[in-house]
Structure 1
């Protein structure tokens, strides 16, 4: 299975700067990807950690991979596993495959260390606390942009600047659809992009890092 930071079809506007800036998980993930592709590993892992604080599982998976192999950062197999365990918290298949692979490659001492040090990482970056940061950011951004305390959009047309300087317009009802801005629906949307494991026996191939450009 080829590793990617997102899967599934997404409307183009979800990649536009104005949309991403209102979603700190996506914003910092994109910063991390850009830095990684430019071989700026220190900047990349810093950005991924910031995205991770907003419950971004792909960023947590990238940190795991970088630590596991020492990709631009000191190799740390124990912490690589811990971050892989965190990334697999929601049951996304590719991330579970990586976690299990890492665990079986640790020796017994490393496994014991991972159990001990892992709790502190979950305390700061686990969904129980990290999702709340993202939820707050989403609700605040939607309220500020629509100008309504209830988040009512009305007959709104959103104009977005494209990288080439042109503009595209998006129906406000689509741009401000609940799945992009309301916490419960937002997390359901994220789950749909990364596909949880169905019930039954599922075989998943090993996770691979994207090639550097």
Structure 2
């Protein structure tokens, strides 16, 4: 695992597409029980080198019901984005994750984590990649039908502050889905 993570962190496959240059952000460990697959690091995370070190990460930890200590304990939770480097700014937020990363690195990473019990897929890019035709017609319907993907996957919207409108429009997420997510995560981490 150490060599693989070192190779990923030295990756320059899509350098010419990255406005701030490559800085792959990933944490994983052979003992990890949960893997969180998000989109790509934002500009702040690119600068700090700490995954989910932003308002989205704070919200995600709240959704999961975990402390910063547990969240950043790579023997418990692996943090693997669809695109490992900051992709740059688009018209309404960051650009999509670079398409090279997941096909190149996800398989080898997941193979080296035999204790995985749950993969949390955050946002449409992760859900499209992992669920393919099994996902619903849109993110809202996919999240509503989250039980269809258990026990392997738990699907979530992105916890970005930009999604305030989605969250206010879909109170069932906070009322019904988050309690179930917290219970599953707590059970896994206690083992």
**TM-score, length-normalised on structure 2?**
0.25
Higher Cα radius of gyration: 1
Normalized per residue, which structure has more strand?
2
Normalized per residue, which structure has more helix?
1
